[in-house]
Structure 1
Amino acid sequence: MTTPKPWPGMFDKALDWLTDNLPDILSFTAGLIVVAALLLSGPLGWSLATVAVLMLTSSAVSLTALAFRLSDGETWESLKDGFSKGELDADFWSNFVSVGADFVGALPGVGAVGKGAYTGIRAVLGGGTATTLGQKAVLLGTNAMDEAKVVVSLDNQLVARAVRGCTNPGGAAKVVEGTSGLVGVGTSSFGIYNKVVDAEDDGVKDGTVAGIDGARLGLDAGGIYGLVRHIF
């Protein structure tokens, strides 16, 4: 009698785990891309176009993670109970911070593409040089990339105010933003690791991670002010 191989069952379990934790994995991936973009724009001095592409990629990943989170019934229930019933427990704050972080992460790319498409459409309708469908598509893509370059060059107003007394405010701002990104990658990897090893949920660790990420969310949201002013 042949003993059945465990691989099909293990594959199904692994696939189920990936499906259940996909939003967290995507958020972790987006964080890694943001850190890479900060490094490339700082010490390594890569081109603005490369950094803009990374920003657009990170925003697309964050937007996908946000869509998965908002499609999850348990997340909605936790957020709804927190706002309507005052159940502001660790689970609520964890979901609130996760949704907020993905939303803030998606905004730069959405804003750049949206304004780039808007200006491109205005140029096409205004009788610009683009005549064929291909030329119009190239024009829209070029405008979106131009806007992305502007967006990655915008200062985080909250960080800028905090470091304006430093000898090198620009360098200090990069350090603050880079540290924030690395901390975000660390907390994300911590959460994923706990799920990999199926660690017991005592609420304390979730609350601590949510508190750290909540502080980061407030810091990252400081960059949204400049983004909103640029778009509108």
Structure 2
Amino acid sequence: MTAASSYPHLGFDPVPGSSDLVRDVHRKLSDCAKEMERAHSKVTKLMNGSYWEGDAAVAFRAQLEGGPLPLNLKNGAHSVDKAARQLDLWGMELEEFQRRAKKLDGEAKDAREALQRARGHADEAERTAGKGDSALHHANNRLTAAQGDLDDVLKRARALAGEHEETARRRARHISDATYRLAPHEPNAWDRFTDWLGDNLPDVLSACAAVLGVIALLGLTAVAPWMLFLAAGLLSGAAFGLRVGDPEVLSSLEDGFTKGELDVDFWGNLLGVAGDFLGMLPGLGAVAKGAMKAPELLAATAGPVGEAEGVLTLGQKIAQAGARAGTSVRTLGVSIRTEAAAAEGAVSLLSHPRVIGGRLAPIVEKVDRPATLLGAGTAVYGVVSSLADALDSGTAKTVTNVLDGPRTLGVDVPATAGALHFLLRGAGEAS
């Protein structure tokens, strides 16, 4: 099959490429990266003496000591994994480009058929009507319009081809950047930092949000707790957006729910997405409620509008409009601050008087501070472990998940529910 035959009515292939081939290469690169990661892990354990002991092991470690193999394996795995992720993104983009091309090919088919009909009508009118006849004029207009419709479809197809080419170049550039760091090339400090930050940004944002919660809890700064509350919600929202926009995270969650692959990565991703979602909801709710109540507050505090306003000069009217805009912004800020401060102080749903008569309130009060510290501790540990290979292990991730799971379910969910209940129902019922 030729390229043009895939889109016969366009007459050319605006989006060349095989998505099946891209998926196959992506799978092979992903498998290669995983094997290199396993090899690096085994070599590291051999170097640490945790797998192999005796004279032969000592001799083996002496040969590797200070050598490039562990670092090259680590850099190679990282680079191949980055290249695989770029291929995965290109595969999704290529499928979308080809879907759009198929749609354009269908439009071109309809436009060519309409053009053929219009040309037939024009030829018929020219044979049967004289010059200047209205029927001939109308037929020629239809022919011109049909040709314009086809030209428009082909123009959009050429634009799609340009978009496809630009995206392909960008992905190729990213893959080239990734493979530049393959062994024996060692990235410099700035490259290592930017690579690390790009790979771990959601975890960094989540850890910062958790640390802000600790600062607010312990009163370690003069900044008002409600400001820390909103800042933590903003960071959690950004982390949540990054996580749900990461194809690897979505693939891990999908495999866990649909294929039963409930591995360490699945639980880590699930808890990360859930924690960020719960962290952003109270702040988002406070902003939303503050914005909705701001007009009411503004109306209550605004002075009466006098009839003299009609005789103001243009400059005075502009100044007055500016003052009103400034007042509206300040009122919105006050309204959001009020709701944020109220939500920040809202109690957990488990402390609500209607939940087992409020008998859980003393327990919740005792658990709240340790749970906050624990959450910040595991979040910070996750960031630090991404920097130190010695801390990054399957056992450590499992322990972190075991600690975060009950805390998220038993503390974060009721706390978020309490804050949302407070925002939705009011202080009288939620406190």
TM range (shorter): 0.7 to 0.9
What are the residue-to-residue correspondences of 1:1-232 with 2, within 5 Å?
9-40=188-219, 50-124=224-298, 129=302, 132-158=324-350, 169=362, 173-199=364-390, 202-218=393-409, 219-232=411-424
Cα distance in 2 between the residues matched to 1:10 and 1:120 = 48
Quickly say closer, same or farther: Cα 1:77–1:200, change in 2 above 3 A: farther
Aligned positions, number: 218
Task: Give the TM-score normalised by structure 1.
Answer: 0.82
Deviations 1:145-202 (A, max 9, x none): 000111012111326779x669x93xx6444211111111221222222211234865
Q: 3-state DSSP class of the match of 1:196?
A: coil
Task: Give the TM-score normalised by structure 2.
Answer: 0.46
Structure 1 stretch displaced more, 81-90 or 146-155: 81-90
Q: Indicate the RMSD between aligned Cα atoms, in angstroms.
A: 3.0
1:117 Cα deviation after fit: 0.5
Cα distance in 1 between the residues matched to 2:391 and 2:259 = 26
Gapped runs of 5+ residues in structure 1?
Answer: 1-5
Report the AA paired with residue 196 of structure 2. Answer: W
Gapped runs of 5+ residues in structure 2?
Answer: 1-184, 304-320, 425-431
Quickly say closer, same or farther: Cα 1:127–1:180, change in 2 above 3 A: closer
Cα distance in 1 between the residues matched to 2:380 and 2:227 = 24
Deviations 1:80-100 (A, max 9, x none): 111222222211111000111
Report the AA paired with residue 217 of structure 2. Answer: L
Cα distance in 2 between the residues matched to 1:111 and 1:60 = 12
Q: Does 1 or 2 have the higher relative contact order (CA < 8 Å, sep 6+)?
A: 1
State the percentage of identical aligned residues.
34
> Which protein is bigger by CA-based radius of gyration?
2
The structure 1 segments of at least 4 consecutive aligned residues displaced by more than 6 Å after TM superposition are none
1:21 Cα deviation after fit: 0.7
Cα distance in 2 between the residues matched to 1:152 and 1:145 = 10
Quickly say closer, same or farther: Cα 1:135–1:36, change in 2 above 3 A: same
1:68 Cα deviation after fit: 1.4
Deviations 1:25-72 (A, max 9, x none): 1111111110111112xxx8x88x811111111111111111111121
Report the AA paired with residue 228 of structure 1. Answer: L
